[in-house]
């Protein structure tokens, strides 16, 4: 059973986020199911800290992005 109050649109989600930090970091929504939103982000030099591993803040931005987009569909 779908938990969304309005139909999800991946195109609409991308349109809202192209001029934001999500667009800057390359976060892409790839799938929306009945009760989940799935995103991906290819990690490159923009996303790593000086030691070459993923910056923790980038992980938080990815998680917050998916959570916020999902919550918008529930309202």
Which sequence spans correspond to the domains of the chain? 10-74
Q: Which residues are CB-neighbours of 41 under 8 A, at least 6 positions away?
A: 25, 26, 27, 28, 47, 58, 62
CB-CB contact of 74 with 3 (8 Å)? yes
**CATH architecture of residue range(s) 10-74:** Roll (3.10)
Catalytic residue among 31, 40, 42, 64: 64
d(CA 42, CA 20): 17
The pLDDT score that the predictor gives to residue 9 is 87
CB-CB contact of 39 with 27 (8 Å)? yes
More confident residue, 54 or 5: 54
Residue appearing with tokens 């290819």: 42
Residue 64 annotated among the catalytic residues of the structure: yes
Could you read off the pLDDT of 17-60 as tens digits, one per residue?
888 899 999 999 999 999 999 999 999 999 999 999 999 999 99
């Amino acid at each position: 059973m779908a938990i969304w109050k309005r139909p999800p649109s991946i195109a609409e989600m991308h349109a809202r986020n192209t001029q934001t930090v999500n667009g800057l970091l390359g976060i892409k929504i790839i799938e929306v199911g009945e009760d989940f939103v799935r995103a991906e982000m290819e990690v490159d030099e923009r996303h790593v800290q000086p030691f070459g591993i993923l910056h923790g803040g980038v992980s938080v931005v990815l998680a917050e992005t998916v959570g916020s987009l999902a919550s918008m569909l529930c309202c």
